[in-house]
Chain A
Amino acid sequence: MTVTSDQAAPASGAPDQAPREHRGLFSRALEALLTQRVVLLAVLIVLLVITMSILDAAGLLSGSFNADYLASALISAVPLAMLGLAQLMVILSGRGGIDLSVGSMVSLTGVVFGYAYGLWGWSLIAALALAVVVGGLCGAVNGVLVAYIGFPPLIATLATYYAYRSLALVVSDQKPVNSPVIQDFYSAAQSVELPLIGGSLPLIPLGIFTFLIPTIVVVWLLLNKTTFGRRLYALGTNNVAATWSGINVKPNRMAVYVASGVISGLVAVVTVAQFASARPDAGTSGNGMALPAITIAVLGGVAITGGIGRVAGIVLSTLLIVWVNASILLALPGNDGTQFQLLALGTVLIFASLLNGLTKRKYGGI
């Protein structure tokens, strides 16, 4: 008797939820893995670390794979994650939002910062402020073109990509801006020991604390704790509905392009520190900085159609990309490594976007 009553109790208590509760752990884990991009990225990072540790133990790597190595690889995460956050905001705003010009803005503001700090003798704070203002102005041009004149973002930022890149090279006469002050500024990119608990942790690049974490916090607060953030998600989800619900669409859409410019200005300062000189092609040489940043955003679960995307996704996808790249260099040193990084980036991007499409069909969301 007691056995049957025990069995009957949950069934009569919540008959509606029964089918959901009877789903296996595996099925629920699969749904979390496919629908929660953050979960997928975290699992991939763990898998990567496990694989590399095994390879390391087997002696198949050219260097040792440990916490120190992972921490030193974070130096390249600073510009990537910051520009990824810029793309997050721009893509979130919808209507085909994208910013191809971030690399050119990094080049241009980097040169301006180099002149102000290195040659005109401005203080670091003043030069930093100038970089932010110049970046913001560059972004404002994009913003006006997109939000007020109605340019498709791809076209507006393609045009300014050309224009800013050209200006950076012409202004600097195609030579890196250099001076002893800028070379000393390299110390801003070195690795430091954390106070208090630092002794037991690996050295971490200073840029993480001075630039990346503040940017992450500010963007997270903007998106999640302000009405501006809420409006942005509304705008990206349905532009018409947002307009009719009383959101002043134009200034809000313009603001994300300005924010993207401001972040590019900050990244410019970071790259000047990393290279110990202000290179006029810092953000545009090779594949440039825009494509990796967009890749980071898409991998981080940002829907290219707007309205969907989280800061945590950007952070985790940056960590994944940076550590995959660092691992490839350990496994395949030299030229082979840099080539296989391209393959990894391309495959991961296609895989992630096909997955986005699949989850949309299967679960109706990302």
Chain B
Amino acid sequence: MSVDQRGAPAARPTARRILPPPVTGQELVLVGVIALLWVLLGIFTPAFLTPGSIRPLLVSVAPIALIGVGMTFIIITAGIDVSVGGAIMLCAVVTAKSLVDLDMPLPLAILLSIGLGLLLGLLNGVLIAYGRVHAIIITFGTANIFQFLALRVFGSSTVNGIPGTFDVFGRGEAGRTFGIPHSFLITVVVVAVAWWYLRHTSGGRNLFAIGGNAQAARLAGVAVQPRILGAYALTGALVGLAACFFIAAGTSTLDQAVGSGRELAVIAAVVIGGTSILGGRGSVIGTLLGAILVQTVTSGVTQIGWPSQLANLFVGLFIIIAVGTDLLRQRARKAS
């Protein structure tokens, strides 16, 4: 309130000072933990640190981190979206069916998937922003409806004989440049753009303001409802793109388990990345690192030879450790 609006040169240093550092402590810790895990896994299972093992890891990180970007936007506004699993299923099955039945070219198929995802995101956003209903409840409801629609399209069987249109996002040779999977490269670009948007544009800062205190943000002139709608729409569009990655990473058959449980995997990645579920604080780089950490543990556990189901125990522990240390730090800051 005390910032002088007319004195632009005077306001500038203030604006720069209130921004958090480009990379926060939580992100450095995550990088450290991931590096440590990779070194340890490299020592115990020599096969881990080879391109043949890292590449599939990056391919499976891509869709989770990509949706995680949108989910970070939503959670920064103090919302949540548990319908992404159902939305992935619907986008994937509609796109896969169109590839099989209509032999759609690649750009059209991507547009179809993103467009459908955007529509689903808009539905969530309209209900949440203008229906003034708690986000978790609405998205539980839409999750069921998306699943219903997807199952109707599936028609009680799998989609078979999907052509290789999406190989450019796949695990094979066609899916990488300089040895890095395209899906992961796209995800990194999206993360970079989102990072810049959240940090350096008024639209991005508005999201933080809404999450901090929606009422105060409204009184300060933030268009709260359109911004919230935008966050859900973005997530929907990214779900559409991620659905293409899921189709590409699989075989030529798409079964009804696609997308199942992914909403919790995405939320886990976001939370491990240091985004506060209460809103007003978060980072997309953290989300990318969180997704990498979860996937490292998942593939590491199986490569060591432990039961694969044990991976989820570690995911749970990581969530507790990541959020717990953050809580303790906040408490220490408050006490000092």
Contacts and interface: CB of A to CB of B under 8 A. Distances in A.
B137 A304 contact: yes
Contacts of B30: none
A295 interface: yes
Contact of A163 (B137, B260, B317, B324): B317
A161 B316 contact: yes
B313 A161 contact: no
A321 to B, nearest CB: 12
B313 A167 contact: yes
B137 A342 contact: no
B140 A291 contact: yes
* Size class of the A contact interface (CB-based, 8 Å): 35 or more
Given A98-B136, A160-B316, A346 B267 contact: no
A162 B312 contact: yes
Interface string A320-357: 00000000000000010001101101110110011011
Nearest to A340: B148
Which interface residue of A151, A160, A298, A342 has the most chain B CB atoms within 10 A? A342
B312 A165 contact: yes
B145 A357 contact: no
Interface stretch (B104-112, B127-135, B247-255): B127-135
Nearest to B312: A166
Contacts of A286: 260
A353 B320 contact: no
Interface in A144-174: 145, 149-152, 154-156, 158-167, 169-170, 173-174
B268 A353 contact: no
A152 B145 contact: no
A159 B327 contact: no
Contacts of B28: none
Interface string B126-170: 010001111011101111110110011000100000000000000
A335 B156 contact: yes
Interface stretch (B40-48, B184-192, B229-237, B303-311): B303-311
B114 interface: no
A286 B256 CA distance: 11
B241 interface: no
A78 B323 CA distance: 35
Contact of B316 (A150, A162, A287, A347): A162
Contacts of B136: 98, 154, 304
Q: How large is the interface on B (under 10, 10 to 19, 20 to 34, 35 or more residues)?
A: 35 or more
A128 B147 CA distance: 36
B285 to A, nearest CB: 20
Residue of A162, A164, A286 with most partner-chain B CB within 10 A: A162
Nearest to B301: A166
B315 interface: yes
Given A166-B313, A294-B140, A161 B264 contact: yes
B222 interface: no
A151 B327 contact: yes
Given A159-B320, A339-B151, A152 B312 contact: no
A305 interface: yes
A349 B317 contact: no
B324 A152 contact: no
Contact of A158 (B142, B151, B271): B271
Nearest to A360: B132
A354 B131 contact: yes
A150 B330 CA distance: 11
Contacts of B309: 166, 169-170, 174
Given A339-B148, A346-B143, A346-B144, A155 B323 contact: yes
A39 B310 CA distance: 47
B80 interface: yes
A80 to B, nearest CB: 15
20 contacts: A149-B324, A152-B277, A154-B80, A154-B136, A154-B277, A158-B267, A158-B319, A159-B317, A162-B315, A166-B311, A166-B312, A166-B313, A173-B307, A291-B140, A294-B140, A295-B140, A342-B148, A349-B141, A353-B137, A353-B138
Top-9 shortest CB links A-B: A346-B144, A163-B316, A162-B316, A166-B312, A349-B141, A159-B319, A350-B141, A346-B145, A166-B313
Interface of A: 98, 145, 149-152, 154-156, 158-167, 169-170, 173-174, 286-287, 291, 294-295, 298, 304-305, 335, 339-340, 342-343, 345-347, 349-350, 353-354, 356-357
